[in-house]
Structure formats: C-alpha cells, structure tokens
C-alpha cells in the first residue's frame, strides 16, 4: 500500500494568483498522477509525473497552466497558475502500487475555490 | 464515446434492498477492472477488484463480461453506510494508467 500526504487540504484564492499543491508519498514510486474532480463529476487525469523527466499532460491541460515538479521518487507538486473561477475544483494526487493489482492510492485532496 | 461509462444515478434505495450498478468500457484490450468507493468530500478508495470468474466480498459481488465489455457490482442487504459514489475503474494499458467512470451515486434510506 501507499500513504500520501497532500496539502493544503483546502484554499480560497483570488483570481489571477497561483497555488502550489504538494504530495508526499511514504514510499518510492515511479509515476505520480494528478487528477481534477469538479463538483459532481468523476476524476479527470491532468498529467502523469515521472521523476527525472517532464510530466506528460492529457488533452486539454498544458504545462503553462499546470506546471508540475517531481524532484524525487516520493514527492511532487502541482501548481494551478493564473487562476480563474473555472479552476475551482478538487485536485488529487495519486500513485499506483502493487498488492491487489494496480491499486490506486490517493491523497486527501485539495479543495480549491477561486473568487 | 467515453472510455468508461456508468449510470450516474442517484439510486435511492431502502435499507436491506439489493442494488446493482453497471459499467461499460470501450477498449477491448483493457486488462484490469475495479470498483472504487468515494464518500462525500473524501478521496476514492478501492472497494474490490473484478475478476473474469466473478468475485464476492461479503455483501458485494462483482462480475466481468469481457465479450460485452461490461462490469457489474451487486450490493445485497444495503446499509445506510453504503451511501457513497461508486466508481468503475479500468486499467486499459500496460502500466499503471487508470481510467475512471463518472461514478454512480447510491443513497440508502432508513
């Protein structure tokens, strides 16, 4: 299994500012995943973060808006840049560990409100 | 067409009822299948994996039909604590990329 500590748990931000979300994993993992979950919706993958290389972004998400760092195998950050109210959402980091097959473990989520 | 589709619900059922959720996936090369549970304002957590032969865990039964690309979850004797959103999840590629369905919301009433 994997335990992920994600922070902040919530924030209210002014439009035009940026917020950096951090995730710390209790074990070394090759890939970390960043998701967005809008109210009443399921999870949408933003990007996959690999240590030592640039993150891979999904369609509709770009590095300038969601820069990601992955300095080592246990830590990653996602920045939501130049925020607008449309960025209000829950952001979750995730890792996949073995055990019962590729089981995904999630951080507690960051609830972002942009005003 | 979405890769993983679910009926969003909500399913409103009385305690003790049996309820079934369905999920279809579009990629016939999908390899692994799961049901996750997400409580309100919480992160998703694995409920159970879904095996080709079908599998049961207490009141929960999961089944997979590869020919029809269809996954189901059956909950018997529903409890109030079963109220949550149930996410169908598919591992479509070699590696660890998971695709989430939109979720089915279940509300169990007294």
Q: Do B89 and A41 touch (CB under 8 A)?
A: no
Instruction: Kindly report, residue by residue over B25-57, the tens digit of the pLDDT.
Output: 998 888 889 999 999 989 999 999 898 888 999
Q: What is the pLDDT of residue A71?
A: 92
Task: Report chain B residues whose CB lies below 8 A from the CB of A111.
Answer: 41
Chain-centre distance for alpha carbon A49:
9
Query: In order along chain A (115 residues), what is the average pLDDT of each group of 10 residues?
Result: 93 97 94 91 91 89 96 95 96 83 87 96
Among B34, B97, B103, the residue with its CB nearest the CB of A42 is: B103
Residue B30: per-residue pLDDT: 86
Chain B residue nearest residue A43, CA to CA: B100
Strands A110-114 and A10-13: parallel
Contact at CB, A109 and B87, closer than 8 angstroms: no
All residue ranges of chain B with pLDDT < 50 are none
Residue B55 sits at the chain A interface (C-beta within 8 Å)? no
How much is the pLDDT for A60?
Answer: 94
**At CB < 8 Å, which residues of chain A contact B?**
31, 33, 41-43, 45, 48, 92, 96, 100-104, 106-109, 111
pLDDT for the residue B96: 66
Please give the Cα distance from B69 to A105 (Å, whole number). 25
DSSP B56-85: EETTEEEEEETTTTEEEEEE-S--GGG-EE
């Amino acid at each position: 299994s994997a335990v992920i500590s994600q922070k902040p748990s919530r924030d209210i931000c002014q439009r035009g500012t940026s917020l950096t979300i951090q995730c710390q994993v209790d074990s070394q993992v090759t890939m970390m995943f960043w998701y967005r979950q809008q109210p009443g919706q399921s999870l949408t993958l933003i990007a996959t973060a690999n240590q030592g290389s640039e993150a891979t972004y999904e369609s509709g998400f770009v590095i300038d808006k969601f820069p990601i760092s992955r300095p080592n195998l246990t830590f990653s950050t996602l920045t939501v840049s130049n925020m607008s109210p449309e960025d209000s959402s829950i952001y979750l980091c995730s890792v996949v560990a073995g055990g019962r097959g590729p089981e995904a473990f999630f951080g507690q989520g960051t609830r972002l409100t942009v005003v | 067409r979405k890769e993983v589709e679910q009926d969003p619900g909500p399913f409103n059922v009385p305690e003790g009822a049996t309820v079934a959720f369905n999920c279809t996936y579009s990629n016939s090369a999908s390899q692994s299948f799961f049901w996750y549970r997400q409580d309100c304002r919480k992160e998703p957590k694995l409920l159970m994996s879904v095996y080709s032969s079908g599998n049961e865990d207490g009141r929960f039964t999961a089944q997979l039909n590869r020919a029809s690309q269809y996954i189901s979850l059956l909950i018997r004797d529903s409890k109030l604590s079963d109220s949550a959103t149930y996410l169908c999840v598919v591992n479509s590629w070699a590696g660890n990329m998971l695709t989430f369905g939109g979720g089915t919301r279940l509300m169990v009433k007294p």
